[in-house]
């Protein structure tokens, strides 16, 4: 394999490395990353790095282990990096993981017989996918990092490297408690596709069982035990009943009802349109090829159910959670389709069109999607992405002036920048905070604007707190000594 073969994939990787850096670096520098989830998870990683068990005090005021909220073992894996990269650790991990996932996709397509140019188009299609772009505009999720191991898992299967396939499966499973549900379908999909090889068939069957058993045990036993006997509360799919077993029954007995729910917007304004847009854009970005590759479509089934049947409308849209997992499936479906993989004339045209479609969807998502988030977080081509309407340097100086050992309660936008504080809380959680630092020109989540204004008035009149410092964009209170 000559160096010329690497030239274009390296250029594509470099281009997307720059694009995604232009997303997350200004967002974090300008306080557009938040307590949930980046601040919470980075603080947890810092806590693990100091040899302590992370808990839920930051956002719930509870000493319950954080693993009872989401069973994320990756944070322990990345914890040592916090000594080097501090508050930037998880953002950098996610960035590197996406680039590594792209390289794995290129290698996998080449292993399956695609030409270097076809594999490079596949790389561009994958990295441009709207689910990956949306992940960077959010801030951080461990399932993004886990999903980037998927192409390497496929490569390990293609090379019949069973030990690597098992290690990569376990890596993906350990990112979140529900990953096993998706990966069970993934293993079954590969089993259907590679069923002629008896040894691989047995391994994939064992992996499907392991994946499902992992999620079943973690959700049904481990997390409730960590929560002191409280049942798992992360099941938020009313159309699928009260839990995984109920979901199986409903899917078996009422499939038409479930299918209807995929487009049912309920009482949410534009709910139907949000779901319709998601499916349409998914189709344009490569989802059409899933219909030509039933074994890959099978892998997408739990993703569609998880996304479109969620109780929260924020999950339905193209910028919401649970879109990144579609990226490797759509790229795989398009670029392993025989005409594309074999490089026929029609296949080459289709590879280019599919990649253009993926890019076009990503541009639409950042510019004009129905479910609107903070556009400044995602429009890297506009000046608003690189500026704020308050004095960011002054806010930074204020945050740096907080004593390193102080217990701090902070607004959501400030929490990711204060993760070195052992005792850190998302305002209005106070616990035994000695300092309160509030963002006066940011959304006051989890409070409403009226609640936030009332709480500030209470702090000004409090006999326990005194205003210590303020600037354009922030105000700090310190606890009065008795």
The whole-number pLDDT of residue 3 equals 74
Whole-angstrom Cα distance, residue 461 to residue 440?
A: 17
Give every CB contact of residue 432 below 8 A, 6+ residues apart in sequence: 407, 423
Any idea of the CA torsion for 216, 218, 223, 226, to the nearest 10 degrees? 140
Q: Are 214 and 206 in contact (CB under 8 A)?
A: no
Whole-angstrom Cα distance, residue 142 to residue 33?
A: 15
Say what the pTM is: 0.93
- Percent of residues, the chain, with pLDDT higher than 90: 66
Q: Which tokens belong to 474?
A: 């922030």
Q: Are 309 and 262 in contact (CB under 8 A)?
A: yes
Whole-angstrom Cα distance, residue 432 to residue 419?
A: 17
Mean pLDDT calculated for residue range 299-319: 84
Report which of residues 5 and 418 the model is more confident about.
418
Mean pLDDT calculated for residue range 274-290: 90
| Residue 124 confidence (pLDDT) above 60 | yes
pLDDT digit string, tens, across residues 363-407: 888 876 666 566 788 888 889 999 999 999 999 999 999 999 899
Burial classification of residue 233, based on how many CB atoms lie within 10 Å of its CB (0-12 exposed, 13-18 middle, 19 or more buried): exposed
Q: Are 357 and 124 in contact (CB under 8 A)?
A: no
pLDDT digit string, tens, across residues 23-77: 999 999 999 999 988 999 999 999 999 999 999 999 988 889 999 998 999 999 9
What sign results for the dihedral spanned by CA atoms 447, 383, 99, 77? negative
Which has the closest alpha carbon to 134: 278, 9, 302, 305?
278
What sign results for the dihedral spanned by CA atoms 295, 300, 304, 305? positive
| Residue 1 confidence (pLDDT) above 60 | no
The count of other CB atoms within 10 Å of the CB of residue 242 is 11
């Amino acid at each position: 394999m000559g160096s010329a073969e690497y030239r274009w994939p390296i250029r594509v990787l470099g281009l997307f490395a720059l694009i995604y850096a232009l997303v997350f670096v200004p967002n974090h520098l300008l306080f557009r990353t938040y307590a949930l989830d980046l601040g919470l998870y980075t603080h947890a990683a810092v806590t693990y790095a100091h040899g302590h068990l992370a808990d839920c005090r930051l956002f719930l005021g509870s000493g319950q282990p954080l693993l009872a909220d989401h069973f994320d073992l990756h944070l322990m894996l990345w914890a040592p990096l916090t000594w080097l990269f501090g508050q930037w650790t998880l953002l950098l991990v996610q960035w590197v993981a996406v680039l590594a996932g792209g390289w794995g996709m290129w290698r996998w397509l080449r292993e399956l017989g695609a030409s270097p140019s076809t594999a490079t188009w596949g790389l561009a299609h994958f990295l441009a996918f709207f689910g990956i772009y949306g992940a960077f505009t959010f801030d951080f999720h461990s399932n993004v990092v886990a999903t980037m191991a998927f192409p390497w898992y496929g490569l390990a299967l293609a090379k019949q490297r069973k030990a690597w396939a098992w290690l990569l499966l376990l890596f993906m499973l350990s990112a979140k408690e529900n990953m096993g549900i998706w990966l069970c379908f993934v293993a079954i999909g590969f089993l259907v596709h590679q069923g002629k090889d008896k040894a691989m068939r047995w391994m994939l069957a064992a992996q499907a069982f392991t994946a499902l058993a992992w999620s079943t045990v973690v959700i049904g036993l481990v997390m409730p035990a960590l929560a002191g006997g409280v049942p798992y509360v992360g099941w938020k799919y009313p159309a699928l009943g009260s839990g995984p077993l109920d979901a199986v029954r409903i899917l078996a007995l009422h499939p038409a009802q479930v299918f209807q729910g995929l487009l049912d917007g309920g009482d949410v304004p534009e709910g139907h349109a949000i779901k319709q847009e998601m499916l349409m854009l998914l189709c344009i970005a490569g989802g059409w090829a899933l219909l030509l590759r039933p074994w890959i479509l099978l892998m997408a089934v739990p993703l569609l159910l998880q996304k479109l049947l969620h109780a929260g409308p924020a999950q339905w849209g193209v910028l919401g959670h649970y879109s990144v997992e579609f990226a490797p499936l759509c790229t795989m479906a398009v670029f392993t389709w025989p005409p594309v993989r074999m490089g026929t004339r029609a296949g080459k045209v289709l590879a280019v069109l599919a990649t253009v479609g993926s890019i076009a969807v990503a541009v639409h998502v950042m510019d004009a999607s129905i479910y609107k988030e903070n556009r400044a977080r995602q429009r890297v081509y506009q000046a608003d992405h690189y500026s704020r309407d308050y004095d960011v340097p002054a806010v930074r100086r204020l945050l740096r002036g907080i004593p390193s050992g102080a217990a701090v309660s902070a607004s959501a936008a400030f929490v990711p920048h204060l993760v070195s504080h052992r005792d850190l809380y998302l305002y209005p959680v106070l616990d035994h905070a000695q300092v309160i630092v509030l963002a006066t020109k940011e959304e006051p989540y989890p409070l409403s604007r009226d609640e936030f204004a009332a709480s500030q008035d209470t702090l000004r009149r409090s006999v326990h707190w005194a205003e210590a410092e303020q600037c354009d964009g922030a105000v700090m209170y310190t606890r009065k000594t008795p």
